[in-house]
């Protein structure tokens, strides 16, 4: 586990501790007031606070265990312990809601007036700002560390705020001679608790079953990978949640014949780009599949702007023009000529010319020879390079390439006349 990930999970631990201490104080106060006043709705909130404490303990344990390093038995780490903690929290919440609902039903059938209502109202009202602050804090930390259990706890605190408002209404109605409403409010709080628990349980089960919770994320990964030069296509994208992090697999298509070291470098580039867009992505396995190019764009240095029959230039960096020929279905479909921006430069002539090819989207270069600088730049951009051979025109060079008669350039070389292309 990275040190950055460890620091973020430590922040989650602190949030669980702060929440536990705050809820413990609120729970004790509400329990005493509920027992003293006889208000079922206040008692219900006190019991709900106990559930919150158990939830926060589960959250803390889950986050704590998820920081353990992977082992032989758990090669993907212990991140899903945090999700399991969320499921435990959800079960506790649902069970507590069911018990509160039973007690509320008894109170509805046998209503009792609330004594010392002012005390109950003051305690309940004063707890609402505390619950709001805890909800905001838990949500902020949960979003930063991508912790579903903390986000669930934040939602639990928000529900407690709503239930506090209902408690105020129930206690006030009891003072107005309607004690029945105290039991009704307790039932409403119970239903809210049950609904929340079932929702949390469902979300936790989806994560444990590797369901895709955010399909749009997979589309983002696909677009990012396809935007990496050298990737011809993306066959499949798989992302699964594992506690606060995500694990992914990606299959990309590359040109047939791409050297192993180049394919590995391309996979690393894809992984770096995708993980840069998704900080919560703990690991990404990139698979490589070869594919024949259906479309290519060939760049050829030429001496004149005469179309496809232009004469070829011998020196890469000193060519006045480059013609770009689009090949599809084994035939030249269209072409365009561009002036060489590196022509006349004293330094970095070859590199400037190389960036013209990259900007124009060339997939292949046919040239007499290349200096070291342009060779490595074009190779880094996954542009295939072939020797011009005896082709005197761009048309002849394209025909020779389609017929498979050209030889690949495997290393830079110069004849001493174009040393500027090294720079």
Per the CB < 8 A criterion, the answer to whether 185 and 170 are in contact is yes
What is the pTM assigned to this prediction?
0.60
CATH of the domain at 286: 3.30.70.1350
Mean of the pLDDT values across residues 259-279?
Answer: 87
Query: Are 239 and 341 contained in the same domain?
Result: no
CA 396/CA 185 separation, integer angstroms: 87
What separation in angstroms does the CA of 278 have from each of 75, 246, 275, 282? 22, 9, 5, 9
CATH of the domain at 354: 3.30.420.130
Query: Are 194 and 229 contained in the same domain?
Result: no
Q: Provide the 3-class DSSP secondary structure of residue 67.
A: coil
Per-residue tokens: 18: 């702060």
Per-residue tokens: 377: 């730049």
- Average pLDDT across the chain, whole number: 80
Q: Is the pLDDT higher at 157 or at 42?
A: 157
**Residue numbers of the domain that contains 28:** 3-208
Residue 153 has pLDDT above 70, yes or no: yes
Domain boundary among 267, 291, 315: 291
Say what the pLDDT of residue 419 is.
42
Query: Are 165 and 87 contained in the same domain?
Result: yes
Of 53-67, 197-211, 296-310, 341-355, the one with minimum mean pLDDT is 53-67
pLDDT tens-place string over residues 332-382: 889 999 999 998 888 888 899 999 999 999 999 999 888 888 998 998 888
CA 238/CA 226 separation, integer angstroms: 15
> Which ranges in 209-337 belong to alpha helices (H)?
215-226, 260-277
CATH of the domain at 161: 1.20.1510.10
Please state the length of the chain: 423
Query: Are 235 and 269 contained in the same domain?
Result: yes
Per-residue tokens: 326: 């689009």
Query: Are 10 and 39 contained in the same domain?
Result: yes
Query: Are 142 and 82 contained in the same domain?
Result: yes
Q: Do the strands 295-302 and 364-367 form a parallel or antiparallel pair, or are they unpaired?
A: parallel
Residue 301 has pLDDT above 60, yes or no: yes
Query: Are 107 and 180 contained in the same domain?
Result: yes
Domain boundary among 275, 291, 307: 291
Domain boundary among 265, 291, 317: 291
Query: Are 324 and 277 contained in the same domain?
Result: no
Say what the pLDDT of residue 96 is.
73
Q: How many domains, in total, are found in the chain?
A: 3
Query: Are 383 and 411 contained in the same domain?
Result: yes
Query: Are 266 and 356 contained in the same domain?
Result: no
Query: Are 278 and 308 contained in the same domain?
Result: no
Query: Are 287 and 301 contained in the same domain?
Result: no
CA 247/CA 238 separation, integer angstroms: 8
Residue 254 has pLDDT above 50, yes or no: yes
**Nearest alpha carbon to residue 120 among 3, 28, 219, 38:** 38
């Amino acid at each position: 586990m990275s040190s950055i990930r460890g620091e973020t999970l430590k922040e989650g631990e602190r949030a669980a501790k702060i929440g536990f201490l705050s809820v413990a104080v609120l729970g004790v106060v509400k329990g005493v007031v509920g027992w003293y006043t006889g208000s079922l709705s206040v008692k219900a909130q006190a019991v709900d606070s106990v559930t919150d404490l158990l939830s926060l303990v589960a959250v803390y344990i889950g986050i704590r265990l998820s920081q353990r390093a992977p082992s032989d038995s758990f090669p993907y780490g212990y991140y899903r312990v945090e999700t399991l903690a969320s499921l435990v929290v959800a079960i506790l919440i649902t069970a507590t809601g069911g018990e509160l609902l039973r007690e509320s039903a008894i109170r509805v059938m046998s209503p009792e007036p609330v004594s010392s209502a002012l005390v109950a109202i003051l305690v309940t009202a004063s707890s609402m700002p505390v619950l709001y602050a805890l909800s905001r804090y838990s949500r902020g930390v949960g979003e930063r560390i991508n912790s579903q259990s903390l986000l669930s706890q934040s939602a639990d605190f928000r529900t407690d705020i709503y239930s506090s408002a209902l408690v105020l209404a129930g206690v006030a109605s009891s003072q107005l001679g309607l004690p029945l409403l105290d039991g009704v409010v307790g039932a409403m709080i119970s239903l809210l608790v049950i609904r929340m628990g079932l929702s949390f349980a469902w979300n936790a089960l989806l994560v444990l079953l590797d369901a895709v919770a955010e399909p749009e994320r997979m589309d983002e990964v696909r677009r990012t990978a396809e935007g990496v030069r050298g990737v011809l296509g993306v066959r499949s994208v798989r992302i699964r949640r594992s506690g606060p992090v995500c694990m992914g697999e990606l299959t990309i298509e590359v040109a047939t014949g791409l050297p192993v070291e180049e394919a590995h470098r391309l996979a690393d580039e894809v992984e770096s780009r995708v993980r840069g867009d998704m900080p919560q992505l703990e690991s990404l396995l990139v698979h490589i599949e070869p594919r024949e190019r259906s479309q290519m764009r060939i760049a050829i240095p030429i001496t004149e702007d005469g179309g496809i029959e232009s004469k070829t230039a011998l020196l890469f960096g000193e060519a006045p023009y480059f013609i770009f020929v689009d090949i599809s279905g084994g035939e030249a479909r269209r072409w365009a000529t561009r002036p060489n921006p590196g022509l006349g430069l004293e330094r970095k002539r070859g590199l400037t010319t190389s960036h013209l090819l990259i900007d124009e989207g060339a997939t292949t270069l046919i040239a007499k020879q290349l200096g070291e600088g342009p060779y490595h730049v074009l190779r880094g951009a996954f542009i295939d390079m072939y020797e011009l051979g005896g082709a005197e025109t761009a048309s002849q060079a394209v025909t020779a390439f389609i017929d498979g008669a050209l030889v690949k350039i495997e290393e830079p070389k110069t004849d001493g006349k174009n040393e500027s292309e090294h720079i």
